[in-house]
Amino acid sequence: MSLALTICGLSKTYPNGVRALSNVSLSIPTGMFGLLGPNGAGKSTLMRTLATLQDADAGSAHIRANGSDGSGAPAGDLDVLREKAAVRRILGYLPQDFGVYPKVSAEDMLDHLARLKGIVPRSVRRDVVAGLLRQTNLYDVRKKALGGFSGGMRQRFGIAQALIGNPRLVIVDEPTAGLDPEERVRFHNLLAEIGENVIVILSTHIVSDVSDLCAEMAIIDKGRVLLTGRPLELTRRLDGRVFQKVIARSDLAAARAAWPVISTRLVAGRTLVNVVSDAPLAEGFVAVAPTLEDVYFAAIAGRLDVAERALEPA
């Protein structure tokens, strides 16, 4: 059975006047989907809306399923915004910030959450909890209080609770922020395993999370979708258009005024300037192979023809 999440014209303005979402439309298939954008772009608002935690002002979102696998997944069409109880039965959600009872063990907490999820028989819950603890590599610390978990262990526990009940839609919001490199790799491997048969939406501002994990992606900023497609194909659109130059740090302001700069970075005491241009640049610029980070910065900086490219097929 295959699933697809279709979002059409979703908009949200908060009472303080902040327009968090503006006519957001996306088509998200089974697998890992990356939602990439800076802090304040509207990612968390979109995730909370899809997780049935808040209402949109306008628009729609539907989960469509072809076939049935007997797992409780929806048959046909499920209205995410109106059929909230049904959505929650197939939803796994790891928010950006989530609380735990610090004195409760991981095993006991998962058992409690499984009971709330409707898994009543004790023997079934025991097997489910043990399986999730093993899947997230937490079985050996299952008796440890959650307050003693490291950041990475806590995030893996968050995924474990999100997977209770075999969800068909999994939403993870900024899951790797603050993790050390080893824990990030472990978390990447776990997400990749989960994303083989269900819809997983990965909301993040970390470009490498998307490039490493996601077959499809979107870039969002100021509540608007700027770009959608496959990471590799989006990167290829910048072939021959990214140029780099080493400049003095004191010349950075002048460089931004003179050239279509998309990013700068300090490397080994040197300031590297990346520029996107349809024509080669003189004055010491060299062409470099584009990366997804270049695509991201170019889209956010408005250096791409956003309206036209967002409509191009992936």
The pLDDT tens digits for 113-163 are 999 988 999 999 999 999 999 999 999 999 999 999 988 899 899 999 999
Q: Is the pTM of this model over 0.75?
A: yes
In terms of pLDDT, which residue wins out, 281 or 221?
221
Q: Summarize pLDDT for 77-92 with one digit per residue, the tens.
A: 899 999 999 999 999 9
Domain boundaries, the chain: 1-90+167-229, 99-166, 235-303
Class of domain 1-90+167-229 as given by CATH: alpha beta
CA 82 – CA 203 distance, rounded (Å): 23
Q: State phi, psi for 201 to the nearest 5 degrees.
A: -100, 120
Per-residue pLDDT tens digits for 271-298: 999 999 888 777 789 999 999 999 999 9
Cα–Cα distances in angstroms (integers) from residue 268 to residues 246, 254, 265, 271, 272, in the given order: 11, 22, 10, 8, 10
β-strands 169-173, 199-204: how paired? Answer: parallel
Residue 68 banded pLDDT, cuts 50, 70, 90 = low
Q: Which residue has the tokens 């870039």?
A: 219
What pLDDT, on the 0 to 100 scale, is given for residue 1? Answer: 64
